[in-house]
């Protein structure tokens, strides 16, 4: 009882021991949709206390770091895209960086063979975390005291919360890895099997969050937390140093903004590949009447597959951290170039990645998304990640949080696929202080300069194509938000040269694609898309059916 009371103090009506997932809400004063009911509820209580969408997004993100440890994080990084009621578009880059001691070939053995266990598992897989720097960079657009925004997360960590069946299953699955990749068994390891409803208490994490509450950004990047991170690095082969932590800075970048048939799309620029690929894909379908082809017919899937192939070939060839390498962004998104890319497109024939390579330019499971809208005209779209599920699976001993395995998003060797099958070259090679290329695509659509859609998803390389499909579903096929989120998704990423589909994808269309010459493979779920749609005074939020995702509203309508 005492525990419930304490959590209630910071989060109004939330009972962390008894809650369920609500998939859709229609509200008038604001909404939050995220991967976990408790995190969405935390966000809405902040709106109810007078906070704006940025306040709610900060609080939701911090709560996710506690209640959704597989992807919610303070030991990873992410991107925030927002549209504020003064008309300003914001893009905050808090992607992890390679530590100063990182080097181009650090994941190759002496014969030059990639050792992907090192870029994916344990201490050496971690980039310098960016999330807390990103939260403080976004906080300048917030309005409530920071202590108010972080307290729900502290309470949830300190007093615990009941885990879901999905959380129990993943903690059970990873038990051996948690033991193997940590010198002290973290709280995620339990003698008996976890089951739904068990309480997860994270005392060390609560103390870390308190240091952040009391000392701001330096509560993470300096002092006791930094000491615990560096000590943890020394327990194995880690290389993150005090200087790496102290030097880390989030970057405010210029949002990627483009027009699609009168809608203004606001999305993340590099070092995410997501925004530019989305712009390319939307650009390549813009002058074709895809609406007439209809949702997931042979024609529309074939067209979307071929534009996906072309965009991902360009990703592998041209994209990397713009602070380190030159990327011809303008050219890649230009009408002429995209028309050129589609010159060899044949509507009735399967393309081939052996034939269609990157364009020619001569000029110099686990991530998580949250979408927030308030009633003041502000919207926020955040995708944040540890990379793989539970990141490196290494917890900073004494500090209670998981570190990312984001180094695997670099191209460890030209042409060697990372854990999402993405290939790259020198543009995305490892260098000290460089940010690894991402696919995360937090996106906002404006209509007449007013927020209309807030969209994003996890899913590695499937992120840009899931956002692409969601936008096409709504803007072209006229689908409801629920259908746009929950109907089956598909994906093509140039290499491997195959169309990946979800198992409920139309069987007849699958056969037709195969008859045309495509390789089609059924491979698990694609993404966990969280969407908010604003129609005048009505705010509709939908959480993906694929997980515990949950939509909560401020002043919900019956």
Residues that bind ligand DON (CB under 6 A): 365-367, 385, 387, 406, 409, 438-440, 458-460, 463
Which CB atom, from 145 or from 496, has the smaller least distance to ligand DON?
496
Shortest distance (Å) from residue 159 CB to ligand DON:
28
Shortest distance (Å) from residue 523 CB to ligand DON:
13
Which CB atom, from 77 or from 351, has the smaller least distance to ligand DON?
77
Q: Look up 367 and say whether it is catalytic.
A: yes
| CB-CB neighbours of 478 under 10 Å | 11
Phi-psi region of 429 (alpha: psi -120 to 50; beta: other; left: phi over 0): beta
Q: CA 177 to CA 454: how far, in whole Å? A: 36
Paired strand residues for 368: 384
DSSP state of 403: P
Q: CA 296 to CA 85: how far, in whole Å? A: 36
Which CB atom, from 406 or from 530, has the smaller least distance to ligand DON?
406
On whether the CB atoms of residues 68 and 41 are closer than 8 A, the answer is no
The CA angle 468-472-478, to the nearest 5 degrees, is: 155
Which CB atom, from 366 or from 552, has the smaller least distance to ligand DON?
366
- H helix runs in 269-368, sequence order: 274-285, 290-293, 298-318, 329-333, 335-341
Q: CA 236 to CA 403: how far, in whole Å? A: 13
Residue carrying structure tokens 């549209």 = 83
CA of 435: how far to CAs of 16, 28, 271, 293, 423, in Å?
36, 39, 7, 39, 16
Shortest distance (Å) from residue 94 CB to ligand DON:
12
Shortest distance (Å) from residue 383 CB to ligand DON:
8
Q: Which of 367, 394, 461, 462 is catalytic?
A: 367
The CA angle 266-485-262, to the nearest 5 degrees, is: 35
Which CB atom, from 507 or from 521, has the smaller least distance to ligand DON?
521
Which CB atom, from 154 or from 412, has the smaller least distance to ligand DON?
412
Residue carrying structure tokens 């995702």 = 549
Tokens of 15: 């009972």
On whether the CB atoms of residues 205 and 401 are closer than 8 A, the answer is yes
- In the complex, residue closest to ligand DON by CB: 367
Shortest distance (Å) from residue 406 CB to ligand DON:
6
Active-site amino acid positions = 367
């Amino acid at each position: 009882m005492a525990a419930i009371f304490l959590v209630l103090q910071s989060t109004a009506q939330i009972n962390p021991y008894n809650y369920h997932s609500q998939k859709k809400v229609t509200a008038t004063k604001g909404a939050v949709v995220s991967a976990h009911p408790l995190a969405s509820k935390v966000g809405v209580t902040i709106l109810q206390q007078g906070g704006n969408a940025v306040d709610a997004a900060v609080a939701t993100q911090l709560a996710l770091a506690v209640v959704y440890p597989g992807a919610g994080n303070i030991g990873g990084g992410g991107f925030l895209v927002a549209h504020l009621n003064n008309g300003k578009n914001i893009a905050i880059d808090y992607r992890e960086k390679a530590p100063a001691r990182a080097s181009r070939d650090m994941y190759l053995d002496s014969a030059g063979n990639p050792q992907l266990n090192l870029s994916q598992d344990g201490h050496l897989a971690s980039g310098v975390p960016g999330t807390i720097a990103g939260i403080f960079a976004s906080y300048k657009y917030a309005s409530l005291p920071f202590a108010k925004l972080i307290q729900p997360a502290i309470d949830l960590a300190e007093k615990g919360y009941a885990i879901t069946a999905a959380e129990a299953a993943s903690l059970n699955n990873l038990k051996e890895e948690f033991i193997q990749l940590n010198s002290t068994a973290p709280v995620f390891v339990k003698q008996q099997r976890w089951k739904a409803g068990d309480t997860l208490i994270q005392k060390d994490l609560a103390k870390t969050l308190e240091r952040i509450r009391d000392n701001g950004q330096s509560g993470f990047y300096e002092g006791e937390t930094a000491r615990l991170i560096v000590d943890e690095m020394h327990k194995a082969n880690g290389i993150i140093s005090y200087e790496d932590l102290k030097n880390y800075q989030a970057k405010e970048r210029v949002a990627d903004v483009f027009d699609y048939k009168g809608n203004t799309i606001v999305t993340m620029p590099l070092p995410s590949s997501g925004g530019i690929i989305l712009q390319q894909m939307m650009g390549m379908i813009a002058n074709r009447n895809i609406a007439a082809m209809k949702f997931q017919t042979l024609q529309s899937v074939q067209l979307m597959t071929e534009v996906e192939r072309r965009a991902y070939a360009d990703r592998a060839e041209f994209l990397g951290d713009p602070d380190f390498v030159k990327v011809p962004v303008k050219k890649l998104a230009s009408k002429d170039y995209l028309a050129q890319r589609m010159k060899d497109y044949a509507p009735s024939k399967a393309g081939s990645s052996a034939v269609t390579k990157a364009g020619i330019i001569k000029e110099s499971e686990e991530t998580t998304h949250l979408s927030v809208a308030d009633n003041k005209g502000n919207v926020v779209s955040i995708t944040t990640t540890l990379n793989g599920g539970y990141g490196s699976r290494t917890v900073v001993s004494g500090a209670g949080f998981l570190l990312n395995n984001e180094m695997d998003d670099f191209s460890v060797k030209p042409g060697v696929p990372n854990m999402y099958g993405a290939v790259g070259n020198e543009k995305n090679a490892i260098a000290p202080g460089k940010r690894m290329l991402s696919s995360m695509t937090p996106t906002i659509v404006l209509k007449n300069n007013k927020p209309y859609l807030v969209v994003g998803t996890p899913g590695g390389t499937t992120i840009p194509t899931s956002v692409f499909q969601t936008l096409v579903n709504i803007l072209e096929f006229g689908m409801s938000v629920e259908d746009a989120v929950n109907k089956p998704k598909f994906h093509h990423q140039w290499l491997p040269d195959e169309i990946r589909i979800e198992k409920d994808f139309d069987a007849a269309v699958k056969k037709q694609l195969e008859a045309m010459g495509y390789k089609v493979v059924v491979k698990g779920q694609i993404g966990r898309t969280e969407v908010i749609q604003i129609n005048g005074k009505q705010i509709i939020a939908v959480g993906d059916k694929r997980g515990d995702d949950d939509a909560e509203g401020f002043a919900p309508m019956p």
